[in-house]
Structure 1
Amino acid sequence: MSLDRRSFSVALGALGASTLLGSHATAQPAGAPIKVGGTLALTGPLSSVGMVHKLTGEIYVDELNKRGGLLGRPVEWVLKDDQSKPDLTRTLYEQLVNSDKVDLLIGPYGTSAILSAMGVAQRYQKTLVHHTFGVPPLAKYDQQFYAWALGPEPEKTVPAIVFDALAAGNKAPKTIAVVTSKFPSVHFISAGVREVARQRGIREVLFLEWDFGNRDFGPIAGRIKDADPDLIWGGALGLEANQILDALKKIDYAPRSSFWYAPAPGPMLKAPEANNALSLTIFEDHPPFTDNPVAKHFTEVFRERATQANLPTTTVEVQAAASYSAWQIIEAGVNGAKSLDNKAIAAWLRANQVDTIQGRLRFNGPGNFGDDLSRVKQVQDGKWLVVWPREWAAPGAKLR
């Protein structure tokens, strides 16, 4: 199920009125701070994306405290660097619960790290709101909640929407090369791509895997060139997509069409060889997403702060939107339950929907997942533009 544009506009209109206007009518928070604990990949292979989540969280907490905090108390974000290491993530979440005595948990970034954090949350019966979990069948804990709305079966729905976009643009592939990291979420999706492609009569001419952390993509580029597919499906994280495209450029091969699951958004925009590359999104910095005042305000503040911080990406897209949504879910859960009791917050979230900048989220499906709100975007002349579904496309944009 997808959220139609009219419902989205109505939902965001209500969100804008209650959130943006409420900031002018709320008393300053007082009392002991409410601690929200989490980790992010501030160093290591995932740091280029982790920094986007860090800046988003800082913006949200600053503005949350300006409009009264939570339950009338200020909010403090206790953030630690997990160095892109799931084992370290587990240790740090133990510290957050037992040493830092945090009230609530958020994050981290990346499915492997989220699984580590989820185990700790379950041990202590803490509610965990996470940004970017990509393997819903592994989400067994009933007090975990997603922010990136992929739905309960992204291994089916994600490739379906991408193939639908290509078909609608008269670019339906006859052959596909699936090249993927063994990182759990992208590997899970890539396995589903192979099955969906087979069902649609798309012939697989190459399937290659690499270990997470690999930086030598020359041999993979050579195999892609030899296979010469209509579509490259890249199960890539962060800078891996740029590295593959650069390796292809070095051997004088330009893909006819390519899709990259979770690239580093800024570097992809700056690479000439990435022009017309496709990816997945839930929000981009253009209408209709920015028709709402809350979303528009966030994109403006993020652009200003990201420029000051010299981040490679200064516009809001899927990563920042998922992170912002996670904080919106926490705020809604605490205010809805009128409590910091983690079980009460979880119960409220399962029974209610939350309006976020990407759309209205529900948590009453399998594993607390709701609808897949994915859209397909494309790099077009240095900008990410949504091209499918058509009602979510940037003004005047269409698949190239």
Structure 2
Amino acid sequence: MKIFNRVAAAIAAVACLSVGGAIAQSQAPLVVGSTLSLTGPLSATAMTHKLVGEIYVDQLNARGGLLGRKVEWLVKDDQSKPDLARTLYEQLITSDKVDLLIGPYGTGTILSAMGVAQRYNKVIVNHTLGIPSLSKYEMAFPSWSLGSDPGNTVPNTVFDAVAASPKPPKTVAIVTSKFPSIHFMSLGAREVAKKRGLQEVLFLEWDFGNRDFGPIAARIKDAKPDMIWVGDIALEGNMLLDAMKKIDYVPPIHFHTYPAPGPMSKSPDGNLALSMSIFEEHAPFTNNKVATDFIQIYHERTTKANMPDIAVEVQAAASYAAWQILEAGVRGANSFDDKAIAAWIRKNRVNTIYGQVRFDGPGNFGDDMMKVKQVQNGKWQMVWPTQFAAPGAKLQVR
């Protein structure tokens, strides 16, 4: 009898361990893997994406995580290098064995990550892919809602805005980085400008990573354009404006594609700069609790991190929306299976911080939701279309 009791106790103990292990396993954290350009030329903007991701994961876990599992975010530094991003996403999937992926910042690194995700049949929500025609993977989804033809639609929106200004331009200089999405958009702007009757007085390119903008500023000054289309990313626009100031030149109208938001808005040289946006920190974009709650905590975190700008704008909104899309896919599919998540996202619209988005167009892109904003009194303010403008704000020119 004693032997029997010992055996029964042993069996019960093993059973308890097995059940306990199963419970522990079912409650294991859900790991989302990604890279960001925490160093290198894209770091000024990527730091915004890192902060937003940390905020979202905290909020998600405060709501109970995803399908009952706590969420952890494993982010690695791709150093603004697409080749390194490719290697790191391989590591995330094969070595780190993350459960889900979320895309990096920047078109080059996004395409590298997308190629790896496709090889392993992983769904990937990306932040800022600027060339929709390159998105060939059916399980990749953008949070950057610039439509499937931004080389046409985005420049038309920009030129519509300046055409309605007090001094519509007649001539334009188009200067651009060779960074893939920037270059693509700027070439589109050349064609749109030509069709609209704007005279191109200068077209000039520079290699991504360039830091000497003196010769470029001099060429622009000599061309005397009414408007400058600057195909820039991160701090390139700030460096160009600084070079212009050194030769006593102030551009009358200057548009920037993807500037680092804080440095551009806080620099005196950035006053009246134009850019594209999907969200700014004012009505009507702040007319919901999700936005106002995010803005409050973002202000707290950016202030603590001593960031140059504490306002929620296009980059922060796109990053937040990427996490919203991923969460909606998991909850909608009620599964962590990549194919199930992708199928749900393709068939449904998702409410994001900047509006409802869809993924049933070419390359899983939906509507072009880009608008035009301007630096006014040290803040980005939406100015076009007028129904989305900040209260009392209008596009200003010198």
Structures share a fold, TM > 0.5? yes
Aligned partner of 2:255 in structure 1 is 259
**Residue equivalent to 2:17:** none
Q: Tell me the distance in 2 between the aligned counterparts of 1:236 and 1:317.
A: 17
Q: How does 1:61-140 map to 2 (within 5 A)?
A: 61-140=57-136
Alignment of 1:165-314 (within 5 A): 165-314=161-310
Q: Which residue of 2 aligns with 1:341?
A: 337
What's the CA shift for 1:305?
0.3
Question: 2:19 — aligned with what?
Answer: none
**Letter matched to residue 329 of structure 1:** I
**5+ long unaligned stretches in structure 1:** 1-29
8 Å Cα contact 1:37-1:103 kept in structure 2: yes
Task: From 143, 147, 152, give the equivalent of 2:148.
Answer: 152
Q: Is the counterpart of residue 389 in structure 1 residue 385 in structure 2?
A: yes
Secondary structure at the counterpart of residue 289 of structure 1: coil
Measure the CA separation in 2 of the matches of 1:35 and 1:119.
Answer: 20
CA distance in 1, matches of 2:32, 2:78: 16
Mind listing any 5+ residue stretches in structure 2 that lack a counterpart?
1-25
Structure 2 CA distance for aligned equivalents of residues 168 and 257 of structure 1: 13
Aligned with residue 35 of structure 2, among 27, 35, 39: 39
1:52 aligned counterpart, secondary structure: helix
| 1:172 shift after superposition | 2.3
> What letter corresponds to residue 57 of structure 1 in structure 2?
G
Residue-pair matches, total: 371
The offset of 1:167, in angstroms, is 1.4
User: Residue 350 of structure 2 aligns with which residue?
Assistant: 354
Partners of 2:143 and 2:322 within 8 A in 1: yes
Q: Distance in 2 between matches of 1:165 and 1:390?
A: 9
Structure 1 window deviating more from structure 2 (206-215 vs 163-172): it is 163-172
Runs of at least 4 residues off by over 4 Å: none
For residues 215 and 259 of structure 1, the distance between their equivalents in structure 2, rounded to whole angstroms, comes to 19
Query: Conserved in 1, the CA contact under 8 Å of 2:266 and 2:309?
Result: no
Deviation at 1:373? 0.5
CA distance in 2, matches of 1:304, 1:396: 27
Whole-Å separation in 2 of the counterparts to 1:248 and 1:354: 43
- Letter of the structure 2 residue corresponding to residue 379 of structure 1: V
Structure 1, residues 166-185: CA drift from partner, whole Å, max 9, x if none?
11223321111111000000
8 A Cα contact 1:163 1:172, kept in partner: no
Greater relative CO, 1 or 2 (CA 8 Å, sep 6+):
1
- The amino acid of 1:339's aligned partner reads S
Stretch moving more, 69-78 or 268-277 = 268-277
Alignment of 1:359-370 (within 5 A): 359-370=355-366
